[in-house]
């Protein structure tokens, strides 16, 4: 089945305060964001017409822009309203949303025009991120590592930080894996290419501290759901040689939601009942059947 390229789809996209036809949502080839990665974004999901954790995503988007020294010409309330209107105009209730902020084409060079900041929001239907998520995905170990927080603003959801994620995921898929797990600059377990990691051992969950990775909105939700069930969650440094000590594993993220892992870096895991229960809890929460 052929896939329609994203620049040839139907609908509208919100750009800089107004809606334009999907195919006309274009930027210049000399945009600063394209050449110098001066771009931040969010990935969000709407369920049954409601954008899950919408305000938290908007807050993180604006904080990412602040970390990249970008002066956003819209308030958080403007972006919130634009996201809802985008869903409505696209006729979508269940969808993926992509707000993005980038520097435009007023100036070319490392220095950017501080007033040349663009904002857009698109929405489209998107199902499961992984095809085999129910039985658990297979994850390999990436050759690339997450950077030291002193080298780049790791708490920004910035485009430039995803280059090594793309490289890692491409390499993993060529070898028949769904994704890749990345270590941090110290050699500790960090995250997958677009999701956070949890391990299960003796009824307790273990997840990396998060000092060099994005503050995950779905990660925080998974922690709250686990604690609701009385499960202890340990946020700590995790060494790769500990993998064989764990009985289960899952990853979290807006796109992946809560997805079990059946193999990571050569270690096999059981997709047990607790992980299935948490995945169901997340589905119930996002569809309004459960309250936190």
Q: In the structure encoding, which two tokens stand for residue 143, read together?
A: 């050759």
Tell me the CA distances in angstroms from 264 to 90, 178, 237, one per residue in order: 38, 10, 17
Strand partners, 51: 46
Task: Give the span between the Cα atoms of 36 and 111, in whole angstroms.
Answer: 10
Neighbours of 116 (CB within 10 A): 19
Count the residues in the chain.
Answer: 292
Cβ-contact 256, 217 below 8 angstroms: no
Which contiguous run of DSSP H or E holds residue 252?
strand 248-253
Q: Is 202 exposed, middle or buried (0-12, 13-18, 19+ CB in 10 A)?
A: exposed
Rounded Cα gap, residues 131 and 187, in angstroms: 30
Q: Which of 53, 83, 157, 169 is catalytic?
A: 157
The answer to whether 205 touches 231, Cβ cutoff 8 Å, is yes
Active site residue 157: yes
Strand partners, 235: 207
* Parallel/antiparallel/unpaired status of strands 233-235 and 204-207: parallel
Q: Catalytic amino acids?
A: 157
């Amino acid at each position: 089945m052929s896939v329609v390229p994203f620049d040839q789809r139907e609908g509208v996209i919100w750009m800089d305060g107004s809606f334009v036809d999907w195919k006309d949502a274009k930027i210049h080839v000399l945009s600063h964001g394209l050449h110098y990665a001066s771009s931040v974004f969010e990935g969000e999901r709407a369920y049954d017409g409601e954008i899950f954790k919408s305000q938290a995503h908007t807050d993180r988007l604006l904080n990412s822009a602040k970390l990249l020294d970008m002066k956003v010409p819209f308030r958080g309330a403007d972006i919130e309203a634009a996201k809802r209107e985008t869903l409505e105009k696209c006729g979508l209730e269940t969808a993926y949303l992509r707000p993005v902020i980038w520097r435009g084409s007023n100036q070319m060079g490392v220095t950017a025009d501080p007033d040349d900041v663009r904002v857009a929001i698109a929405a489209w239907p998107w199902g499961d991120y992984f095809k085999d998520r129910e039985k658990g995905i297979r994850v390999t170990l990436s050759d690339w590592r997450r950077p030291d927080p002193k080298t780049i603003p790791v708490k920004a959801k910035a485009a430039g930080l995803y280059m090594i994620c793309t490289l890692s995921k491409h390499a993993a898929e060529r070898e028949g894996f769904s994704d890749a797990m990345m270590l941090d600059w110290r050699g500790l377990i960090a995250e997958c290419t677009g999701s956070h990691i949890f391990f299960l051992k003796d009824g307790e969950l273990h997840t990396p501290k998060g000092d060099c990775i994005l503050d995950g909105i779905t990660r925080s939700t998974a922690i709250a759901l686990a604690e609701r069930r009385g499960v202890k969650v340990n946020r700590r440094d995790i060494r790769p040689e500990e993998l064989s000590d764990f009985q289960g594993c899952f990853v979290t993220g807006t796109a992946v939601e809560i997805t079990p892992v059946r193999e990571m870096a050569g270690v096999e895991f059981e997709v047990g009942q607790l992980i299935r229960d948490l995945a169901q809890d997340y589905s119930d929460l996002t569809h309004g059947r459960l309250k936190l």
